[in-house]
Amino acid sequence: MKSKKRSSKIILQTFIIAGIIIFINLLSFNFYTYLDLTEDRRFTLEESTGKLLDNVDDVMTIDVLLQGDMTSGLTQLRQRTLEILKEFKSVNPLIEYKSIDLNDGTPEDINRIRKNLSNDGIIPVNLMIVENDQKVEKLIYPYAIIKKGTIKIPVNLLEPQARGESEAESINKSMTQLEYKLVSGIEKVSRNRTPVVAFTQGNGELVESQTAKLATELKRTMEVEYFNLDSLYKINSAVDIVIVAGPTRSISVKNQFKLDQYIMNGGKIIWLIDQFAVNLDSINRNKIYVPRKLETGLESMLFKYGIRVNNDLILDLENTQIPQVIGSQGGKEQTQLFPWVYHPLLQGNQESAVVKNIDRVSSTFPSSIEILDNNKSGIEYMPLLTSSKYARRQIYPMRLSFEVLRVEQKTEAYNKPFLPAAVMLSGEFESFFKNKVTEEMSQTLDKIDASFKERSPRTSQVVITDSDIIKNLYDPSNNRISPIGYNKWSNVDYKGNQQFIVNVIENLIDDYGLMASRSKSMKLRLLDQVEVTEHKLKWQIINVVLPVLLVVVFGILFSLWRRKRYAN
């Protein structure tokens, strides 16, 4: 009788436990929560991300293309992508996502899909996968496509592998950027209006063919315009960002006034100011060459905003290379690449979310920037690009010569580390023309029914001391343009150049503060390869055999405990 009651009790307990487990599983389909116990808070969404997701008011679908047989690192990247999208959906159910296997279907279907993706600018990555002890080439699409109605934006989930960087480090960097990339894509397809970016012309700035690559990249989600300052009474307030890219002639006071009042009305400007007219041909032709100082007329204006572009050049031991003739053979000149200290590889300031973890930025003859007021006016100054720790300044007038290539550069002479070459200014700016408005300026304001503004609302400016940073090469013979940051001598594409300028522009039009999610970091905890190799068997036993032994021991102890309890 007691045995029957005990059996009934056990059966009832089993059903209750099973029912609780089923109920919890059913709840988990509708409610998603988690507890982030990681040291670096990698699984916690930024406040700005949650704010944006809350404002999504229509169904949005995200297709994850990262599927198929991949390396373990890419498998981790896919898993983390799906985890983040699950978090997004828990914040707003209108965010829908699914995984798509592009290899599923007939060969005709697969080829058609791949062609359509190529037309959308989605290019696969070639990977060598080991299958049945043989290396097989696979095409992997590390993308997510964010769609809302007829609008769709591809998001590249995989960060480029920098020089000297391992695959594990590249994957780790990619995972830290996932939240920003995905939420930034959602913001783009959710915009009520298309942002407008305008390049100034008429003062010797970079021409359209030299900014074509940047314009093409921006046109994916923005409108790009070019205008001559002389042809305007004022800069349209609908323009979100004005880019003054490398003027070589003086900008008139009248046009300075237009730029100043654009800022005073909340506009944002990216200034790319070259201090000197200098190139390699000039040095080669003149042997010893003193570059000409470019008089842009902007020095006093930038001084008023708290910035001075110094009359110097940054020299850096971390740099790109240029070719030099070392002899001739068979009547042909023989050349070799040499490091050129006047072409620094600038680095992103790791304290700024805008440029954290970007690749190095290739530059040519940049100058250093001095911050003047040290926040006395309430303006915030954030260096974006700096030299390496092995840098120094060469003050104008300087003598440039290729003879420096023949001299061994001493590290101790490069003792001016981290010289700023790009700085962001944010705050409320006072007009450069305060108490300087002429009768002609007043008449211009009357014509457009506007009033002079002495102070701006909170806005931002960016000062960069090398316009080549955003420049692409153009070959008129075949109408081809190079990537931004392409070095034609070493045939290297410095991807940091495009990452830098696109991040700066997106930050300036970011109303949510989404860039905060770029500042996340994940500690890379790699295995000790020496330990793994030397004690392989020990770790295999610990990871494979030990867990099984623990389960067996626990089962035996539990069985003995039950026997002892019910025997009594």
Q: Give, for all 568 residues of the chain, the pLDDT tens digit.
A: 555 655 666 677 667 777 777 776 666 555 555 555 555 566 678 889 999 999 998 999 999 988 777 778 888 889 999 999 999 999 999 999 998 888 777 888 888 888 888 888 888 887 766 666 667 677 788 899 999 988 889 999 988 777 667 778 888 888 888 999 999 999 999 888 899 999 999 999 999 999 999 999 999 899 999 999 999 989 999 999 999 999 999 999 999 999 999 999 999 999 999 999 988 888 888 778 899 999 999 999 999 999 999 999 999 999 999 988 877 777 777 888 999 999 999 999 999 999 988 999 999 999 999 998 766 678 999 999 999 999 999 999 999 998 888 888 999 999 999 999 999 999 999 999 999 999 888 988 888 888 999 999 999 999 999 999 999 999 888 889 999 999 999 999 999 999 999 999 999 998 888 888 877 665 555 555 556 666 777 777 878 788 888 888 877 887 777 777 766 5
Q: What does the alpha-carbon distance between residue 348 and residue 358 come to, in Å, rounded to a whole number?
A: 6
Phi and psi dihedrals of 312, rounded to 5?
-150, 175
Q: What does the alpha-carbon distance between residue 46 and residue 101 come to, in Å, rounded to a whole number?
A: 30
Alpha helices by DSSP H, 237-361: 253-264, 280-286, 299-304
Q: Where in the chain is the domain with CATH 3.40.30?
A: 46-190
Q: What does the alpha-carbon distance between residue 423 and residue 307 come to, in Å, rounded to a whole number?
A: 9
Helices (H) and strands (E) in the chain, counts: 14, 26
Asked whether the beta carbons of 213 and 472 are under 8 A apart, the reply is yes
Determine how many CB atoms are found less than 10 A away from the CB of residue 200.
23
Phi and psi dihedrals of 149, rounded to 5?
65, -125
- What pairs with residue 313 in β-bridges? 394
Phi and psi dihedrals of 472, rounded to 5?
-110, 155
Q: What does the alpha-carbon distance between residue 564 and residue 185 come to, in Å, rounded to a whole number?
A: 63
Q: What does the alpha-carbon distance between residue 351 and residue 348 come to, in Å, rounded to a whole number?
A: 9
Per-residue confidence (pLDDT) for residue 128, from 0 to 100: 67
Per-residue confidence (pLDDT) for residue 13, from 0 to 100: 65
Q: What does the alpha-carbon distance between residue 472 and residue 207 come to, in Å, rounded to a whole number?
A: 11
At residue 409, the 3 state secondary structure works out as: coil
Burial 378-410 (b: 16+ CB within 10 A, else e): ebebbbbbbbbebbbbeeeebebebeeeeeeee
Q: What does the alpha-carbon distance between residue 219 and residue 203 come to, in Å, rounded to a whole number?
A: 24
In the numeric block, the tokens 């003193």 are attached to 290
Per-residue confidence (pLDDT) for residue 509, from 0 to 100: 94
Per-residue confidence (pLDDT) for residue 483, from 0 to 100: 94
What is the chain's Cα-based Rg? 30
Determine how many CB atoms are found less than 10 A away from the CB of residue 51.
15
Cα–Cα distance list, 554 to 10, 547, 558, 564, 568 (Å):
21, 11, 6, 15, 21
Burial 508-521 (b: 16+ CB within 10 A, else e): bbbebebbbbbbbe
Asked whether the beta carbons of 323 and 310 are under 8 A apart, the reply is no
Cα–Cα distance list, 72 to 41, 76, 419 (Å):
23, 6, 40
What is the CATH topology of the domain spanning 46-190? Glutaredoxin (3.40.30)
Complete DSSP assignment for 136-184: EEEEE--EEEEEETTEEEEEE-SPP--TT--HHHHHHHHHHHHHHHHHH
Per-residue confidence (pLDDT) for residue 23, from 0 to 100: 72
- Which amino acid is it at 420? P
